[in-house]
Amino acid sequence: MQIHIICSWNQQKIIPNNFKLKCRLSKTKEVASPSLESLNREPHKYFDQAIITVRAGDGGHGATLSMHSPKANSKSQNKQDKEKARIRSSYKRDFDGSLILPVGGHGGDVVIYADEGKDSLLEFHKKGRFNAKRGGNVDTMGVLHSQLRNGLAAPTLRIPVPLGTVVKHKRGKFLADLSNHGDEILVARGGQGGISLLDMPEHKKKKVMSMTSNVMADENDKVLVLGQPGEEVSLQLILRVVADVGVVGLPNAGKSTLLSAITLAKPDIADYPFTTLMPNLGRLEGDPSLGAGKFSSEATLADLPGLIEGAHLGKGLGRNFLRHLRRTRMLVHVVDAAAEDPVYDYRTVKEELRMYNPEYLERPYVVVLNKIDIPEAMNKLPFLVEEIQKIGSEESLVQSLSNHAGLANVNVISHEDKKIKEIDEYPRPAAVVGVSVLRGINISELLREIRSALRKCRESEEALNP
């Protein structure tokens, strides 16, 4: 028996055995970055994820120095020259009398921080590499004197990202969740600067060694003079929108119109499905009934693209955005009351939420029956309110308002909480409100219900975290 190792140059080596091994070279394919045209045409596919590479700055170099050997003072040397020579030869010393030698400057670090002025990660697809500056070298002509200074440290490179950005290594290791303005994480450290060494003749080394250990023994020590390289890492950035209230529903139910009616947001609105391609954020004013506490009761609403049946399996746009509900305290479920079967539409969206993440159905929510200005919708409004209020458990509603207010901030869930239940076993809606967003009907009542649910959530959070 023989083994044939077949190489690319068609030579063979014969080894006794019963196997035939063929050697081949293969090259892995790298995922291409999206083109500028693709970014402009389909921004919703790229706005919440990006991969970047950052490199910290290298440390500055030290220097190889020789000690100044003053010559005998001549009679013609005046007092000013003598004083300059004395200052120049008065070396910097540590508390124990040892010489202090200059070092190269530290390389620039790389920091990623949350900035409330940013709203997407699209810009990182256009520029995916960031390099910090290197540290300054020791400025010297090769002679040790008292005027020597360390190399300048390079500034820190600070990269802003939107609130809610999760930073991970490209291989998957979690680094940070930047959910609040000003949160930051050091992702790459700059290199240390090189040290300076004294190059002395052999007969002087013993004397100089009593003053400092930084004496060059041989040529191999020169590597210590060089600054260390900065760290380089590839990072994955994942955006999870930070909002108190998530607005969900089927396409064309009126979610964007609702957002524009109760906040100052100006989302794209049109009479066709999937007008919303990326989450829109709006700021809801605080509850006026709280007086001075009005400003602390403000809330952020996120209008998500419409869900369709099968969204949890990747149909439509919904699956790409369902993760943005993770941080919400409560949900607002918008239903088109003029549709053929609003109750079925309501159940469809709840089923998609359940199949994607059952925890979403444990949160308090308000159902909005929109378009009641249409006569057909107004006629069946009492029936729809009654039917929707029947779906769910009253006991679960109380538990939802009391125990699950801070669920968006909980990362560890017990095995029992992960148990998937049927839709009727989850909490009932906190309220069902019929409105016409377009005509401004019952908007005040809707705002009152949303603020009431948010207030209960905050009270529960304060009780759990006094």
Domain for residue 93, yes or no? no
Residues 337 and 255 in one domain: yes
Residues 295 and 314 in one domain: yes
What are the angstrom distances between the C-alpha of 307 and each of 276, 303, 345?
A: 11, 12, 10
Residues 210 and 315 in one domain: no
Domain for residue 87, yes or no? no
Domain closes at, from 221, 239, 257 = 239
Helix and strand element counts for the chain (H, E): 10, 19
Instruction: Tell me if 165 sits within 8 A of 178, measured CB to CB.
Output: yes
- Per-residue pLDDT of the chain (466 residues), as tens digits, is 444 444 444 444 444 555 455 555 544 444 455 665 555 445 445 567 889 999 999 999 988 877 665 554 454 556 555 555 554 455 666 666 677 788 899 999 999 999 988 877 888 888 889 999 999 998 766 666 666 788 899 999 999 998 889 999 987 789 999 988 899 999 999 999 998 887 777 666 666 666 666 666 667 777 888 899 999 999 999 888 778 888 888 888 888 888 888 887 665 544 444 444 567 788 888 777 666 666 667 788 888 776 766 655 555 555 567 777 888 889 999 999 988 899 999 998 898 888 888 888 888 999 999 999 999 989 999 999 999 998 888 765 555 555 544 444 444 344 344 556 788 888 889 899 999 988 888 999 998 898 888 888 888 777 766 5
Domain closes at, from 239, 267, 299 = 239
Residues 216 and 263 in one domain: no
Domain for residue 10, yes or no? no
- What is the per-residue pLDDT for 138? 86
Domain for residue 256, yes or no? yes
- What is the per-residue pLDDT for 415? 39
- What is the per-residue pLDDT for 178? 92
- What is the per-residue pLDDT for 259? 85
Partnered with residue 302 across adjacent β-strands are 246, 281
Residues 337 and 296 in one domain: yes
DSSP classification of residue 257: H
Residues 305 and 160 in one domain: no
Residues 217 and 350 in one domain: no
Position 190, amino acid = G
The domain total for the chain is: 2
Residues 313 and 451 in one domain: yes
Instruction: Tell me if 247 sits within 8 A of 367, measured CB to CB.
Output: no
Instruction: Tell me if 366 sits within 8 A of 385, measured CB to CB.
Output: no
Cα-Cα end-to-end distance for the chain: 78
Residue 139 belongs to a domain with what CATH number?
2.70.210.12
Instruction: Tell me if 107 sits within 8 A of 59, measured CB to CB.
Output: yes
CA 26 to chain centre: 35
Residue 185: domain span: 47-59+100-239
Domain closes at, from 239, 264, 294 = 239
Q: Which of 27, 30, 31 is nearest to 46 (CA)?
A: 31
What are the angstrom distances between the C-alpha of 299 and each of 109, 181, 242, 288, 458?
A: 35, 15, 11, 13, 11
Global pTM value:
0.69
Residue 253 belongs to a domain with what CATH number?
3.40.50.300
Burial category of 89 from C-beta neighbours within 10 Å (exposed 0-12, middle 13-18, buried 19 and up): middle
Q: Which of 440, 453, 179, 162 is nearest to 299 (CA)?
A: 453
Residues 231 and 336 in one domain: no
Measured distance CA(232)–CA(223) in Å, rounded: 21
Measured distance CA(50)–CA(120) in Å, rounded: 10
Measured distance CA(57)–CA(227) in Å, rounded: 10
